Amino acid sequence: MEAGLDLLRRLVERARRIVFFGGAGVSTASGIPDFRSPEGLYAGEFEGLSPEMILSKTFFYLHPETFFAYYRRALVHPEAQPNAAHRWLYELEKRDRLRGIVTQNVDGLHRLAGNRRVYELHGSIHENYCTECGAFYPLAKILSTDGIPRCDDCGGVVKPAVVLYGEAPEPFVCIGARREIADADLLLVAGTSLSVEPAASFLEGFRGRDLVVINREPTPADSRASLVLHDDVARVCAALMPFVNNL
C-alpha cells in the first residue's frame, strides 16, 4: 500500500491537468451509503419495491407520494459533510492542478467543500424545479414538506433535478465532462464500479499519460490503469493531504 501511495503522490506532483471521476464510494466516509455493496441502497426494498423501480421517471409521475417518501429517506442526507477526499480535491483546485471533477453523486458535497469545476452527471439534490412553471427551489423545500412538495406559485409538483432511470443526463454537462477527461494528463477514477452508463463510457475518451483507479473492488478500467489501489478513497486522499503544499 505504501508503495502505491508513493507512486500516486509522484503522479499527482508531475501532472498539470488532473481530472477526478468519482462515484458513490467517494461519499461513504461522509455517512452516505453507496448503491451496490451488501449494505448499499440496492440491497433492500421499500414497501416491497426495488430502489431501481422507485427511482425511475415513470414511477415518479405515477406514484409521487411513494417516490418522495423513499427519496427523503434514502437519497437526502442534509447532515453529511465533506470528507478527506472532498477536501483534498479542493486543495488541488485551489492550486490550479485539478481541472475538473466529474461525479455520479447527487449529494453536492464537492461544491460544499469549495470546488467549482464540478460536472454533476446525475444532477443534485440541492436543485429542484416545479414541473409546471419551472420555478427553482432549494433542498429546504423538499425537507420542509411532507408528502408531495408543491410549487408556491402554481401548485405544480416540485421535482428534484436528479437524473432518474429513464432520463438522460443534461447534454451540456456531459459535453463539458467529456472535454475535461479528453484534455487530462492524469485521470483519477475513484469510488465507482464503472457499471452505470453512459457515465462509464466517458473514460473511453481519455488519451492522457496516467490513469489511476482507487476502488475497493476491481473495475473494468483496472487492466489499463497505471496504478490500481483497492482501498477506501477518503483514506487514500487523507494520506496525500500532507504533500499538497508541494504542488
Instruction: For residues 224-243, give the mean pLDDT.
Output: 96
Residue 227 has pLDDT above 80, yes or no: yes
The amino acid occupying position 241 is M
Q: How far, in Å, are 31, 37, 82, 87, 126 from residue 79 at the CA level?
A: 9, 22, 10, 17, 13
Q: Which pLDDT score is estimated for 1? A: 64
What is residue 150's three-state secondary structure? strand
Task: For residue 203, give the C-alpha cell.
Answer: 473514460
Which domains are delineated in the chain?
Answer: 1-32+82-122+168-247 (3.40.50.1220)
CA–CA dist 43, 66 (Å, integer): 19
Higher pLDDT, 128 or 40: 128
pLDDT of residue 163: 96
pLDDT value at position 142? 97
pLDDT in tens, 132-162: 999 999 999 999 999 999 999 999 999 999 9
d(CA 234, CA 225): 20
Mean pLDDT in residue range 238-242: 96
d(CA 139, CA 135): 13
- What is the pTM for the complete model shown? 0.94
Convert the pLDDT of each residue in 98-116 to its tens digit.
Answer: 999 999 999 999 999 999 9
In the chain, DSSP assigns E strands to 18-22, 98-103, 118-120, 123-130, 136-137, 158-162, 186-190, 210-214, 227-229
Of 34-43, 46-55, 82-91, 233-242, least confident by mean pLDDT is 34-43
Averaged confidence pLDDT in the chain: 94
Query: Which of the following is catalytic: 77, 122, 126, 230?
Result: 122
Q: Residue for cell digits 484534455?
A: 183
Does the annotation mark 77 as catalytic?
no
Is pLDDT of 168 > 70? yes
In this prediction, residue 35 has a pLDDT band, given cuts at 50, 70 and 90, of confident
